[in-house]
């Protein structure tokens, strides 16, 4: 009992001194299918066009065109879709206007106002923070909004839609989220011109998505491109760190409920 009381007093003293803090939690990567849009090799530019729509890149690519949409303008895997393009097409293409040079590898995804999404092999867990990100850039003929993009995190047990998403966000140059390729940029300059965009979702205790697949989605306007998508989760801390005045560090482990 005396030991317990001493520990409690020490804890209170250290906490009051401002040197008791949660241990650092590092983000853990959750694998995404075709994260860099490279799994399907588009026909080489110029003879093979240098781009491909979903009726070609699906099902090789894990990014499902218009996932769960089957009416009107949006129909899953119907070929009317965002498209993949290669580095050579970015520098030439069917017009004189250049797309963003792929940030890594040889390919990126260009928008035309459709959705792509996928369900991952991970499930939502209470108390964890999930972050979905991608790198964005607009064409060199974009306005401040025609290269806009949306990112989504959704419960994979439900049909994917903006209304069903747990969180979503608009990103564009007009809100200073990323920039467009400037006229006259070289491929190397465009590669350095990408900006990472991201959104996060915290799973609260008792949330309905707990135990269901983690889903992520994107929408890109006709002058925008994305590359190098990623998904991560921050685990719940398992300890607190006590930093002694003499530089001695003690770990006080917290019992998991």
Query: Strand locations in the chain, DSSP E?
Result: 20-22, 28-30, 51-52, 64-65, 70-71, 74-75, 83-86, 107-110, 114-123, 129-138, 149-155, 165-171, 195-202, 213-220, 224-234, 239-243, 249-253
Give kind and range of the element (H or E) at residue 213: strand 213-220
Q: What is the pLDDT of residues 208-236, one digit of tens each?
A: 999 999 999 999 999 999 999 999 999 86
Task: Find the length of the chain.
Answer: 257
Instruction: Report angle CA 198, 64, 141 to the nearest 5 degrees.
Output: 60
Indicate the number of domains in the chain: 1
7 is a domain residue: no
Whether residue 46 is preceded by a cis peptide bond, meaning omega within 30 degrees of 0, is yes
201 is a domain residue: yes
Domain that includes residue 237, residue range: 24-253
Instruction: Report angle CA 216, 219, 222 to the nearest 5 degrees.
Output: 155
Q: How many Å apart are CA 39 and CA 36, to the nearest integer? A: 8
pTM (global) more than 0.75: yes
3-state secondary structure of 194: coil
11 is a domain residue: no
Structure tokens at 7: 């520990």
Structure tokens at 233: 């989760």
160 is a domain residue: yes
Residue 129's pLDDT is: 97
Instruction: Report the CATH number that the domain containing residue 110 is assigned in CATH.
Output: 2.60.120.260
12 is a domain residue: no
Whether residue 80 is preceded by a cis peptide bond, meaning omega within 30 degrees of 0, is no
Q: What are phi and psi of 222, to 5 degrees?
A: -70, -10
Residue 96's pLDDT is: 62
172 is a domain residue: yes
pLDDT tens, per residue, the chain with 257 residues: 443 444 444 444 434 444 444 455 689 999 999 999 999 999 998 888 899 999 999 999 999 999 999 988 899 999 999 999 999 999 986 556 799 999 999 999 999 999 999 999 999 999 999 999 999 999 999 999 999 999 999 999 999 999 999 999 999 999 999 999 999 999 999 999 999 999 999 999 999 999 999 999 999 999 999 999 999 999 865 444 444 444 434 333 333 33
DSSP 253: E
């Amino acid at each position: 009992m005396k030991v317990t009381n001493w520990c409690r007093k020490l804890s209170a003293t250290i906490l009051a001194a401002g040197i008791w803090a949660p241990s650092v939690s590092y983000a853990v990567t959750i694998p995404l299918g075709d994260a860099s849009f490279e799994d399907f090799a588009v026909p080489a530019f110029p003879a093979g066009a240098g781009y491909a729509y979903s009726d070609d890149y699906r099902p090789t690519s894990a990014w499902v065109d218009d996932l769960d949409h089957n009416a009107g303008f949006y129909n899953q895997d119907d070929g009317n879709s965002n498209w993949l393009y290669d580095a050579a097409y970015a520098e030439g293409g069917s017009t004189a206007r250049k797309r963003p040079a792929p940030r890594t590898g040889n390919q990126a995804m260009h928008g035309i106002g459709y959705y792509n999404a996928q369900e991952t092999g991970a499930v939502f867990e209470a108390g964890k923070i999930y972050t979905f990100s991608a790198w964005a850039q607009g064409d060199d003929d974009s306005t401040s909004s025609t290269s806009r993009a949306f990112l989504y995190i959704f419960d994979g047990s439900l049909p994917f839609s903006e209304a069903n998403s747990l969180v979503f966000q608009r990103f564009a140059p007009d809100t200073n989220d990323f920039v467009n390729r400037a006229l006259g940029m070289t491929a190397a300059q465009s590669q350095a011109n990408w900006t990472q965009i991201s959104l996060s979702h915290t799973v609260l205790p008792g949330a309905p998505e707990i135990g269901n697949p983690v889903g992520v989605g994107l929408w890109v306007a006709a002058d925008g491109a994305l590359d190098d998508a990623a998904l991560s989760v921050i685990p719940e801390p398992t300890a607190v760190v006590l930093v002694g005045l003499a530089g001695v560090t003690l770990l006080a482990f917290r019992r998991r409920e």
